[in-house]
């Protein structure tokens, strides 16, 4: 009897262990899926906050990161992922003005949820029309030809080249170090492109390398990034189509706002060609086997934020001045006086493609002053915050500034000899103001900048370094070049 009782207890223990093990195995995927869903929804929330702040590139990167997370956690077909693709389509359409990419993302969303709708806060008539077109196009495809595979196949058979009006390319967000990577894009025949070029720049390089992409099929173009270029933490790239005159007619990314590939650790095996997948949802088995904790590195999610820049500019200005002149102590007879020449070097830090903080130095020269003993220089320093209206960081830029020092203007004296008729006035030592600039990318990380600034010189003390400053409202016009590194 004892032997039978022991056997019965042993069987019960084994059965209980099997049941608990089964529950644990069954519970683990559910728990992992729940954690992935929470992380993805947080990324979507942060992305749309960036969208509302017009940080479109940052919003796009966060949503692409969410798609990578979904693939690694094997939840890419969950219904909530339709919202991720929809939001990415909204960013492409309304923020980045990329209708073709928006349509591809809407198709990805419709594949998961055929009834998905654009939220009222983002909806426009034109955007709604693109979603309707995406639903119609997906409805006419087979189950293996639409959705996340659209536009990423190695041939044109799964891509509707006839419906394409510009360029379509699904971003590559990760690639293994040391393995060559094929990049693919679809270019509409309506553009009559003479050539399509892949531009890539590894970490540490100042300039982009150009690779001619070769046509394969009706509208597919392919180019390859060599394995030796996939080094460090990240690589910048963009694709551009050109006409016979060499004019750019379509692009995905730009030199000023390139796409970013995270360079991951080299995979095992003999190396060679990396899996050619441009869409985070079609990464093959390798992507799904990664740990869910292996996400895009925070340090390279927005590499442009870690870049420094220097600007060297020269300018001229004038101001509404008051008070007395410095040497002769004559009352200022007229209100507007010139400050003909100054140098304006600056060093700064890009917090994002659109926002930067910098320290600028303004060294003025009192050109034209001829009173004996007059001051020859006017040094000032400004702390500036600048924000570009374009996600690329180019185009129109506005700034706010605060600083200290001296700005001098030259003032003509009345009833004075011709060789001693121009004195100086001084304003400061506190400056508050702002301005606007226009930046043009010249190539690589070099920009041309033209800038207009207005500063109020506030005499918060009666004397500053032996100078008795007066109030002035000063305006500058600067021309210069900016180099990022």
**Domain boundaries along the sequence of the chain:** 11-151, 158-278, 307-484
Q: What's the predicted TM-score (pTM) here?
A: 0.44
CATH class of the domain defined by 158-278? mainly beta
Complete DSSP assignment for 2-60: HHHHHHHHHHHHHHHHHHHHHHHHHHHHHHHHHHHHHHHHHHHHHHHHHHHTT-HHHHH
Is the pLDDT higher at 276 or at 191? 191
- Mean of pLDDT values over 136-140: 65
The band of 11, judged by pLDDT with boundaries at 50, 70 and 90, is low
Residues 6+ positions from 3 with CB-CB distance below 8 Å = none
For the cut 50, the answer to whether the pLDDT of residue 283 exceeds it is: no
pLDDT at 292: 34
Q: Average pLDDT of the chain?
A: 81
What's the pLDDT score for residue 184? 93
The answer to whether 188 touches 162, Cβ cutoff 8 Å, is no
Residue 300 is predicted with a pLDDT of 34
Which of 114-128, 139-153, 198-212, 422-436 reaches the highest mean pLDDT?
422-436
Q: Greater confidence, 52 or 358?
A: 358
Q: Does domain 11-151 have CATH number 1.25.40?
A: yes
State the Cα–Cα distance between residues 72 and 293, nearest whole angstrom.
Answer: 9
pLDDT at 157 exceeding the cut of 70: no
The per-residue pLDDT for 466 is: 85
Residues 36/292, Cβ–Cβ less than 8 Å: yes
CATH class of the 307-484 domain in this structure: mainly beta
Counting Cβ atoms within 10 Å, is residue 158 exposed (0-12), middle (13-18) or buried (19+)? middle
Give me the phi and psi of 22, to 5 degrees please. Answer: -65, -40
pLDDT at 417: 87
Strands 209-216 and 220-225: antiparallel
Q: Report pLDDT for 22.
A: 52
As a whole number of angstroms, the distance between CA 88 and CA 63 comes to: 6
C-beta of residue 193 within 8 angstroms of C-beta of residue 250: yes
Contact between 138 and 227 (Cβ < 8 Å): no
Per-residue confidence at 1, pLDDT binned at 50, 70, 90? very low
Say how far apart CA 240 and CA 232 lie, in whole Å. 25
Q: Which of 234, 74, 75, 98 is nearest to 167 (CA)?
A: 98
Q: What is the C-alpha separation between 105 and 92, in angstroms, rounded? A: 9
Average pLDDT over residues 176-183: 92
Which residues have a Cβ under 8 Å from the Cβ of 476 and sit 6 or more positions away?
A: 315, 316, 317, 339, 342, 344, 362, 435, 451, 452, 453, 454, 455
E-only strand ranges, 172-285: 174-176, 181-187, 195-202, 209-216, 220-225, 234-242, 248-252, 259-264
* Tokens of residue 171, six digits: 């971003």
Cα–Cα distance for residue pair 484/437, rounded to 1 Å: 17
Angle of helix 80-90 relative to helix 125-139, nearest 10 degrees, comes to 130
Query: How many percent of the chain have pLDDT more than 90?
Result: 38
The model's pLDDT over 306-317, given as tens digits with 9 standing for 90+, comes to 479 999 999 999
Q: Is the pLDDT confidence value at 188 over 80?
A: yes
Express each pLDDT in 223-278 by its tens digit: 999 999 998 888 999 999 999 998 999 888 888 768 888 888 765 443 344 434 34
Average pLDDT over residues 459-472: 91
The pLDDT assigned to 291 comes to: 35
Task: Tell which residue, 379, 368, 367, has the closest CA to residue 406.
Answer: 379
Residue 182 reports pLDDT greater than 70: yes
Least confident of 102-106, 286-290, 349-353: 286-290
Same fold, 158-278 and 307-484: no
**Which range scores top for mean pLDDT: 343-347, 390-394, 441-445?**
343-347
Distance in angstroms (rounded) separating the CA atoms of residues 469 and 426: 5
Which of 464, 369, 371 is CA-nearest to residue 408?
369
pLDDT at 23 over 70: no
What confidence score (pLDDT) does residue 187 get? 92
Whether the CB-CB separation of 362 and 478 falls below 8 Å is answered with no
């Amino acid at each position: 009897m004892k032997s039978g009782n022991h056997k019965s207890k042993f069987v019960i223990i084994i059965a209980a262990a099997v049941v608990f093990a089964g529950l644990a195995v069954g519970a683990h995927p559910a728990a992992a899926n729940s954690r992935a869903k929470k992380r993805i929804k947080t990324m979507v929330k942060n992305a749309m906050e960036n969208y509302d702040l017009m940080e479109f590139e940052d919003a796009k990167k966060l949503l692409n990161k969410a798609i990578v997370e979904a693939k690694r956690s094997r939840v890419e077909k969950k219904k909530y992922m339709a919202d991720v693709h929809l939001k990415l389509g909204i960013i492409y359409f309304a923020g980045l003005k990329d209708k073709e990419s928006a349509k591809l993302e809407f198709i990805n969303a419709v594949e998961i949820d055929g009834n998905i709708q654009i939220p009222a806060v983002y909806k426009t008539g034109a955007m709604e029309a693109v979603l309707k077109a995406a639903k119609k196009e997906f409805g006419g495809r087979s189950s293996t030809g639409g959705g996340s595979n659209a536009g990423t196949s190695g041939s044109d058979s799964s891509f509707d080249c006839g419906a394409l009006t510009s360029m379509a390319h699904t971003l590559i967000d990760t690639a293994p170090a040391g393995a060559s990577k094929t990049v693919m894009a679809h270019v509409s025949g309506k553009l009559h492109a003479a050539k399509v070029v892949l531009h890539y720049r590894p970490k540490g390089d100042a300039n982009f390398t150009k690779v001619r992409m070769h046509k394969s099929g009706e509208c597919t173009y392919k180019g390859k990034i060599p394995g030796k270029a996939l080094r460090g933490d990240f690589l910048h790239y963009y694709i551009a189509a050109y006409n016979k005159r060499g004019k750019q007619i379509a692009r995905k990314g730009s030199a000023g706002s390139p796409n970013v590939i995270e360079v991951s650790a080299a995979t095992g095996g003999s190396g060679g060609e990396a899996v050619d997948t441009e869409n985070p949802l079609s990464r093959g088995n390798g992507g799904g086997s990664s740990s869910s904790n292996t996400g895009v590195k925070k340090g390279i999610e927005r590499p442009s934020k870690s870049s420094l820049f220097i600007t060297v500019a020269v300018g001229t200005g004038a101001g509404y001045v008051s008070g007395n002149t410095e040497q002769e102590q004559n009352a200022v007879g007229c209100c507007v006086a010139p400050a003909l020449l100054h140098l304006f070097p600056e060093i700064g830090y890009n917090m994002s493609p659109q926002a930067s903080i910098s320290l600028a130095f303004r060294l003025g020269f009192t050109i034209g002053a001829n009173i004996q003993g007059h001051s020859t220089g006017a040094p000032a320093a400004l702390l500036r915050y600048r924000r570009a209206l374009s996600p690329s960081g180019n185009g129109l830029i506005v700034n706010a500034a605060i600083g200290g020092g001296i700005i001098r203007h030259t003032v003509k004296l009345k009833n004075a000899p011709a060789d001693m008729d121009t004195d100086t006035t001084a304003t400061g030592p506190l400056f508050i103001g702002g301005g606007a600039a226009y930046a043009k990318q010249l190539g690589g990380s070099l920009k041309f900048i033209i800038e207009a600034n207005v500063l109020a010189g506030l005499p918060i003390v009666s004397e500053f370094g032996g100078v008795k400053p007066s109030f002035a409202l000063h305006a500058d016009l600067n021309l210069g070049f900016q180099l990022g590194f």
